[in-house]
Amino acid sequence: MIKIDSGPKCTLLLILIIYLVGCKTNIKFKDSGIIYQSELWKSINNSIIKFEMQNEEIDKNLAYFLDSIILNHKIIILGEPSHYSSTSYKIKNQIIRYLYENHDFNVLLLEGDFFGLNSITDFYLNQSYRQKEVNQDSICYNLGLPIFWQSCIGFNSLFNNYIPATYNTPNPLILNGFDPQFYSLYSSLHFKNYIRFIYSNNISNQTKDSTINHLIDKNPWLELTKDEIEYLIPKFIKLKEQIEFNNKNFSEEYYNILNYICILQYLNINMNEKNKLREEQMALNLDYLLNSKFKNKKIIISAHDIHVVRYSDSLYKDYQSLVNIITRDSNLNNQIYTIGITGRSGYFGGLDKDIFAIPEHPDGFEVNIQDSFNYGILDNSRINEENRTIRFFAGFENFIPTWGQWLKHYDAIIYIKSMIDCNEN
C-alpha cells in the first residue's frame, strides 16, 4: 500500500500576495538575474502542438497526440484549472470519448463521492448484466454529481447522456469516484445505514455500544457536536484496526470506514489540516481502485489541476498531492501520464457561483504562447531537462498565477487562449 507523509499546504493568501507583488513590480527575471526565460518560451512555442475545437469530432492533432501517449501509459490523468470552466470540460469530454471509443479506456474515476459513485455504478451494471435495460434518467438522478459537472455546458452531455447510454452496451464506460466527501443523493440517503450495518457486523454483541447507532443516524456535517465527533472517532479507529487484523486484502467496506473516519476528523481540524487529510484519503481510495477493483484496466482520472501535480512539495512546502502520493508506487508511476490545463483569458464560475475574469500575469506562461494558438498541447518531455526545471507563473490553481516548475509538475499541458464559464460567457 502507499505511504502517507505529513505537511500543510500553503494558503491562498500567500498565492495572492505573490501574484500581486509580481504584477505591481512587473518582475523582469532576466534583469534580476533570477532566471532567463526567453529561450524557454522559444522552446515551448517550437514544441507546442496546435489544435482546434470542433463540435463533435476530435481534432486530428489532438488525436495523434493521444495515440502517442497511450502506447506506454494505461492511466491518463486529466486536470482542470477550476471546477467551473466550460471550455476545459469540452476538451476533456472529447478526450474521454476518444480514449473510450478508440483505445478501450473504459473506467472514468472522478474527484467525486467514493461511496455513492461506486455503489450506484455497481448497482446499474449488475442490472445491465441481467439483461434489464437501464433507465438513463434514473442513473443521472441517483448519481447526484456536483452541479459544476452535471450542469455545466461541456460535461453535462457526458454525464447525463453519453455515459448512461453505455450502461446498456457490452462495454460500459464505468464511472467511479475517489473523494471521501459526499455529493450524491444516494449517499445522503444510504451511507449512514451502510455504516451502521458494517459496525453491527464487525463488533461483537459484548462490545457493542448502543450510543453509536444513535450518533450514526445524525448528519455528520450538520448535526454532530464536537464531543460526539470525538466520541465516534476512536470507536471507528478500533473497528478499522479490527478489520486490518482479520484481513490481508481490504474490500470496499474497509475504505468506506476510512472515509467515515476521515469525514469525522475533517470536522474538527483547521483548513490546512483538512486539505492534507482529504488529499491523503483520496490517494488511499485511488490506490484501492487502481490496484484492486480496476487492476489492469485502462483508466482515465479527472480531478482539479492542483491534486494531480507531480513533485508537489516543490510547489508548496510539505504539500503532498494525491498524484505525488500514489506515484510512490513505482508500478503506478510508470503507467501514469498527467495533463494539466490552463487558460490565458476569459471567465470561469457561473451556475451557483459568481463569475470571475481570468487575470493575466505579465510574465506568465499563458501570455508567452503565440497569439495564433487558440488551443495547444505541449508534451513537456520535448523540452530539455534544464529548461523543465525553470520556475514561472501559470494559472493552474483556479487561474491564480502561481510560481512553480510547471513543466515538471505535469507530463503535458493543454493551453486555452479564451475560457468560457459555465453560464457560457
Find the helix packing angle between 136-143 and 114-129, rounded to 10°: 160
**For range 82-109, the mean pLDDT:** 96
CATH assignment of the domain containing 40: 3.40.1660.10
* 222 C-beta neighbours (distance < 10 Å), count: 6
Which residue reads 479564451 in cell numbers? 418
Q: Are residues 91 and 65 in the same domain?
A: yes
Instruction: Name the domain boundary from 274, 297, 320.
Output: 297
In Å, what is the CA distance from 240 to each residue of 230, 277, 278? 16, 17, 18
Q: Which of 193-197, 297-301, 353-357, 411-415 has the lowest mean pLDDT?
A: 193-197
Q: Are residues 147 and 278 in the same domain?
A: yes
Q: Are residues 236 and 344 in the same domain?
A: no
Q: Which domain covers residue 91, as residue numbers? A: 1-105+302-425
Residue 147, all three cell numbers? 452541479
Cβ atoms of residues 174 and 105 within 8 Å: no
Query: Which is nearest to 258 in space by CA: 243, 271, 274?
Result: 243
Q: Are residues 266 and 289 in the same domain?
A: yes
Instruction: Name the domain boundary from 273, 297, 321.
Output: 297
Q: For residue 211, name the pLDDT band (cuts at 50, 70, 90).
A: confident
Say how far apart CA 192 and CA 14 lie, in whole Å.
Answer: 38
Cβ atoms of residues 422 and 355 within 8 Å: no
Q: Are residues 141 and 245 in the same domain?
A: yes
Region class of 346: left (phi > 0), else alpha (psi between -120 and 50), else beta: left
Q: Are residues 206 and 230 in the same domain?
A: yes
In Å, what is the CA distance from 74 to each residue of 4, 77, 225, 334, 411? 24, 10, 44, 9, 14
Query: Which is nearest to 92 in space by CA: 154, 172, 167?
Result: 154
Strand partners, 302: 78, 110
Q: Are residues 254 and 269 in the same domain?
A: yes
Higher pLDDT, 142 or 416: 416
* 278 C-beta neighbours (distance < 10 Å), count: 18
* 129 C-beta neighbours (distance < 10 Å), count: 10
Q: Are residues 115 and 98 in the same domain?
A: no
In Å, what is the CA distance from 16 to each residue of 8, 19, 23, 346, 418? 18, 5, 11, 19, 22
Q: Are residues 288 and 323 in the same domain?
A: no
Residue 187, all three cell numbers? 449517499
Q: What is the pLDDT of residues 294-345, one digit of tens each?
A: 999 999 999 999 999 999 999 998 899 999 999 999 999 999 999 999 999 9
Q: Are residues 138 and 270 in the same domain?
A: yes
Q: Are residues 271 and 352 in the same domain?
A: no
The count of domains in the chain is 2
Say how far apart CA 39 and CA 219 lie, in whole Å.
Answer: 56
Instruction: Name the domain boundary from 227, 262, 297.
Output: 297
Higher pLDDT, 424 or 306: 306
Q: The pTM is what? A: 0.89
Q: Are residues 92 and 118 in the same domain?
A: no
